[in-house]
Structure 1
Amino acid sequence: MITQLKNRTLIRLSGKDVQPFLQGQFSNDINALEEGVVQINAYCQHQGKIIALVWVMKKSDDFYVSLPSDLADVVTKRLSMFKMMSDVVITDVSDEITQLGLLEGDRQGLSPFKLNAQQSIALVSDVSGINFSNGEVWEQACIANEVPEVFLVTSEKFVPQMLNLDIDEVGVSFTKGCYPGQEVVARLHYLGKSKRRMRAFECNEKVAVGDALIVTGSTSTKASGMVVRCVKLDSKSLCLATVEVAYEDDEITLNNVQLTRIHND
C-alpha cells in the first residue's frame, strides 16, 4: 500500500558544509547515515525539549529533511539562523517532490528509503499511475511500529526519552558529540530510567494529539501523559501517548474515556 504524505514538508539541504552543519544540529549521528535509509532525529532546544522530529534522508551530497508542515517555518528559520556563514543552502522542495509512505513490499517500481521493517519513504517528482491507499492505513502502521511524531501543538513538550528515541539509539546518538540540548539529554540518559515513556493505546472514542492522560493514583502535579499521534478507525481510535511508567498498566482515562494499552513490547 502506498500513501501520499500530504501534511509533510520536504526541505533539501546542500552545500559543502551541510553534513557537519546537520551533525551539530540534530540528535542522531548524521555522519553514519547511509543512502536508502530514513534516520529519525530530534531537533531540540537548549533544555533538551524537542522542537520537531525530522526524518533525514541522504541522496548523493544532498540531505532531505521531512517533517510535519505545521512546524516547517519554525525549523527552517532555526536552521537558517544557525547556519550563519556556512556553505549550506536550505530549499523547500515540497512543490517539486512528493513524499510517499510505502508499506511492506508494495514499491510499484519506486526506490524507497527504509524507515523500519514495514515502512519506507519514497521521494518522487511524478505520481501518475500510482495507486494510493488512504492516510489512515499509514497512520495505523506508524502506531503499530511506534513511530513518534511532534506537531506544533506538542512542540517543546517532550524530551527524547519520553518518545523512546534513546532505546537502541533509534533517534539519539550518545557518542556523536554536541547538538542543542545534548547535555540535558545525555544527563537524563546516564542518570537512569526515564519516568515517562511512549506506549500504544486504544479506545472507543475520538482522541486528538495533545490530549492529556489521567491516572487516578498518580501523585504527579501534571497530567500523567499526552497523546503523541492518533488515528480514528471505524470502531475505535488508536494512539501513541506518553505515560508515567509506574502507572502504564493502571486504569488510564482520556477525556473521561478509558484507554486500553496495546502491548507491543
Structure 2
Amino acid sequence: MNTNWKTFLLSQQATVDNENHVFSPKIGDSGERNIYPLSHLAVLTVAGKDAAKLLQGQTTCNVNDISEKKSSLAAMCNPKGRVIATFLLVKKADAFLLVLPVELLETVKKRLQMYVLRSDVKLMDSSDEFCLLGLLEPGTPTQAFATETQENLISINFPALARRKLLITDADNAIRYCSEQVEHHDFKMADSDDWRYLDISSGIPWLTKETSEEFIPQMLNLDKLGGISFNKGCYTGQEIVARTHYLGKSKREMLLAECQTSTLPQPNSSIVNLDNEEQEVVGKVLSALQKSRSCKLLVILQRTETTYDNLGLQDEKAAQITLLPFHA
C-alpha cells in the first residue's frame, strides 16, 4: 500500500489490519454515498509493444476488445483450464492494468513472466503507484465494466443494484478526491470489507490462494459476466474452456448463498447435502463475508436436475445454507 495513502487513511481514524483490510469509524449503510479504500486489491501493469499479444495468449477475454472505454473481467488459466486468478483488465494509454487480489499478484506476475521470453513486455507491481477506490451512490446502475478515462482517474462501472464504480488513480489524487467527496458531497469513508460484501452479492468471483487452480472459468460464471471469448483463438487452457462450452454446460456453477454462522467459512470449505443419507460433498465455498448477523457466500455447487433444499457446511452442519438470487 502506498505510504502517503496509508498515512491519510490513518489520519481519518481508519485502521488497517495485517491483511490490508481498511476499517473506518464512519461507516455508511448500503444505499448511502460511500467511498471504500480497496487495499485488498492490487495493480499489475503489463506494458511494452508486445503487451497485448502476451495477454491475448494468456487470458480468457479478447484483449483486442479492451479500450479506454471498455474494461473486462478475465481469468488466467493453467494448461488444464483451471483458473489461476481472476482479474479486471483495464487499458491505460499503451499499457494494461490487471486489478486483482493482493495475495495473487506475485503468482500472476511470475506466470506471465514465463511467457515473455524475448518479447517487448514489462511486468510491474504498481500497487505503490496506484490507489484503488470503490464508490457507491444512489442512482440507476449503468452498463457493467463501461470505463471512463480522465488524465488522473480511471472509473469502471461495477455490477450492483445502485451505482457502483471502481476508481484507479495515484495517491495524491486519491487523497484529494476522498477529501472533496467527504467534505463537500456527503460521502462517508466505509470499510473495504463492505465493498467485498457488495462484490459477493453481485457475483464477482475473486480467488484466493486456497481456490486458485480449483475451477474452470465457466464454474465461476465468467462466461455470463463477459469474461470469456470463444472466438479469439488459442490461449493457455483454451481447449478445456472451449470443450466445456461447445459440449454442454459446466458440471458445476457459482451461486450466491447465505448462512447463519458465528464462524466465517474459509475458502474451499466443503458444502454437504444434508438431505442425502451419506451427506455427500456437493460443493465448495469460493468466498464468504460476515455483515451484521448475515454471512454471504459465493459457492460452487454441482449441477443437478433437482434443487438443493438442505445444504450445510461439512464442518458446521447446523449452519444451514440458503441459496439466493444475485444482488440480494
1:251 aligns with 310
CA contact (8 A) 1:218 1:224 kept: no
CA separation in 1, counterparts of 2:286 and 2:94?
33
- Choose from 227, 232, 239 the match for 1:183: 239
Of the structure 1 ranges 85-94 and 95-104, higher mean CA displacement relative to structure 2 is found in 95-104
CA separation in 1, counterparts of 2:255 and 2:106?
29
1:195 to 2:251 alignment: yes
Offset at residue 63 of structure 1 (A): 0.5
1:120 aligns with 165
* 1:25-40 → structure 2 map (5 Å cutoff): 25-40=58-73
2:36 aligns with 3
Offset at residue 103 of structure 1 (A): 2.4
1:142 to 2:236 alignment: no
Cα 1:113–1:209 change in 2 (3 A) is same
Of the structure 1 ranges 239-248 and 177-186, higher mean CA displacement relative to structure 2 is found in 239-248
Describe the SS at the equivalent of 2:219. helix
Letter of the 2:211 counterpart: T
- Taking only the aligned residue pairs, the percentage that are identical comes to 33
Deviations along 1:15-54, one digit per CA (max 9) or x if unpaired, are 1111111111100011001214331111000000001111
CA separation in 2, counterparts of 1:241 and 1:103?
25
Describe the SS at the equivalent of 1:82. coil
Deviations along 1:32-91, one digit per CA (max 9) or x if unpaired, are 012143311110000000011111100111100111111111111111110111101111
- Point out 4+ residue stretches in structure 1 off by more than 4 angstroms: 104-107, 217-222
Cα 1:36–1:248 change in 2 (3 A) is farther
Cα 1:248–1:195 change in 2 (3 A) is farther
Letter of the 1:10 counterpart: V
Larger Rg: 2
Offset at residue 207 of structure 1 (A): 1.9
- Choose from 133, 153, 161 the match for 1:100: 133
Letter of the 2:164 counterpart: Q
Offset at residue 263 of structure 1 (A): 2.4
Cα 1:156–1:224 change in 2 (3 A) is same
CA separation in 1, counterparts of 2:280 and 2:127?
38
1:264 to 2:321 alignment: no
CA contact (8 A) 2:79 2:236 kept: yes
Describe the SS at the equivalent of 1:11. strand
Letter of the 1:261 counterpart: L
CA separation in 2, counterparts of 1:96 and 1:151?
23
CA separation in 1, counterparts of 2:232 and 2:278?
34
CA contact (8 A) 1:48 1:180 kept: yes
Letter of the 2:158 counterpart: L
Deviations along 1:234-260, one digit per CA (max 9) or x if unpaired, are 111001111112165321101311101
* 1:216-255 → structure 2 map (5 Å cutoff): 216=274, 223-246=281-304, 248-254=307-313, 255=316
1:170 to 2:226 alignment: yes
Q: TM-score, normalised by structure 2?
A: 0.74
Q: TM-score, normalised by structure 1?
A: 0.91
Deviations along 1:147-184, one digit per CA (max 9) or x if unpaired, are 111111100111111111122x6111101111100001
Cα 1:218–1:155 change in 2 (3 A) is farther
Letter of the 1:260 counterpart: T
CA contact (8 A) 2:46 2:121 kept: yes
Letter of the 2:40 counterpart: N
Of the structure 1 ranges 173-182 and 1-10, higher mean CA displacement relative to structure 2 is found in 1-10
Cα 1:222–1:61 change in 2 (3 A) is farther
Cα 1:46–1:33 change in 2 (3 A) is same
Describe the SS at the equivalent of 1:77. helix
Of the structure 1 ranges 97-106 and 238-247, higher mean CA displacement relative to structure 2 is found in 97-106
CA contact (8 A) 1:5 1:100 kept: yes
Letter of the 1:103 counterpart: L
Unaligned runs of 5+ residues in structure 1 are none
Describe the SS at the equivalent of 1:112. strand
